[in-house]
Amino acid sequence: MNQLKNLLKRIDGSVFIIVLSAGCFFWTFTSSGQSEELEAFPTSQWVVSEGESLWSIAAGNRLGKDMSIEEMVYWMKEHNNLGNETIYPGQKIEVPVTMVYASN
């Protein structure tokens, strides 16, 4: 009888662990850090200057509070079909209007 109680305790704990693991696994794949669809922002063309990166463009020109710097970099990569974060001087990229200064 004692062994049966111990067995039931182990099974109950195991079932709980399995259900908890399955829930965490499902949650991981259904909630991502980035939304599946990019938000539609009005855009403007930005000409990349020497020494600029997507990160510096997003960090230095963030006027709106709609996106974090990381979200802006992701948005620019996706919206401009960039395979990575490499950009070149003279390259023209689309940026959200909330990031554009009057001087550029």
Average pLDDT, the chain: 76
Residue 83 located in a structural domain = yes
Q: Show the beta-strand stretches assigned E in the chain.
A: 43-47, 92-96
Residue 10 to residues 16, 19, 39, 92, Cα–Cα distance (Å): 10, 14, 48, 62
Residue 59 located in a structural domain = yes
- Residue 38 pLDDT more than 70? no
The domain tally of the chain equals: 2
Rounded Cα–Cα distance for residues 13 and 17 (Å): 6
Give the type of residue at 84: N
Domain containing 60 — which CATH number? Answer: 3.10.350.10
**What domain range is 12 assigned to?**
1-31
What local confidence, expressed as pLDDT, does residue 98 receive? 60
Residue 24 located in a structural domain = yes
For residues 97 and 90, which has the higher predicted lDDT (pLDDT)? Answer: 90
